[in-house]
Amino acid sequence: MPIVKRGRAFAALLAACLLVLALGGSPAQARDAKPTIVLVHGAFADSSGWNPVIQRLQRASFPVLAPANPLRDLAGDAAYLSSVLDTIPGPVILVGHSYGGAVITNAARDRTNVKALVYLAAFAPDEGESALQLTGRFPGSRLPDSIIARPYPGGVDGYIDPAKFRPVFAADLPANTARLMAATQRPGSMAGLSAPSGAPAWKTIPSWYLVAGSDHAIPPAAQRFMAERAGSKKAEIGRSSHVVMLSHPDAATALILAAHVGTRT
């Protein structure tokens, strides 16, 4: 299919999924054997960041789970998520934001119950790559100059300086909301952010990617590169900050529904 036609077809699918959300239901095709949607947050955030997306998915009658990502080290975080997946019967769609993308890339490897990977302004590393390495490969990230390091027994945590949190992480959210997020942020271990990834699940599992076009944490150019390399079906929101699932929950949910429709058997 020509690129232009593929793009139009994907845009039409996203529009249909947005209509589903507006109607508060799901298409007839999506009513059977609904997968569990597992939402994985990244560093400097927690599972509450998924609340707007969870509300929309639950309104469409999807089972949803948003486990707490340990944020300690990549291999350990992926192993933890894999153990959660062991407890879920039936098909799963894995969704990752930010560093959560690296976690799902590793946790989904060799799992036949994971039907799709969805990346929302997320890392989709290849084998041997780290989150910090991918961030630095393309210009535009303000994250490296915004990190406050705090040692803990056994490692070092990275926090975003609260004074820089909003412009770096959540520029399109209200200032009061960003201040609350900065105060309650969960740090990411520097060991996890710098750890090399294993063999990526996106080589064998179909993927979707939502690019945040005004992201100052992961450069949009890096996001486009990772999406194209993974062969992901890609959408982009030009004015979105890094927290696209909070500032544009309809579009984020529509992409998840598109992954469901696109992988139905």
43-94: per-residue pLDDT in tens? 999 999 999 999 999 999 999 999 999 999 999 999 999 999 999 999 999 9
Calpha distance 16→23 (Å, rounded)? 11
Q: What is the pLDDT of residues 160-193, one digit of tens each?
A: 999 999 999 999 999 999 999 999 999 999 999 9
Judged by DSSP in three states, 158 sits in strand
Q: Quick one: which of 136, 106, 99 has its CA closest to 120?
A: 99
3-class SS of residue 156 = strand
**265: CB partners within 8 A, 6+ apart:** none
**pLDDT for the residue 32:** 59
CATH superfamily of 3-262: Alpha/Beta hydrolase fold, catalytic domain (3.40.50.1820)
Structure tokens at 97: 């934001």
Burial of 247 (0-12, 13-18, 19+ CB in 10 A): buried
Q: What is the mean pLDDT of residues 28-55?
A: 88
pLDDT over 90 at 148, yes or no: yes
For the chain, the structural domain boundaries read 3-262
Closest CA to 106 of 89, 91, 92, 126: 126
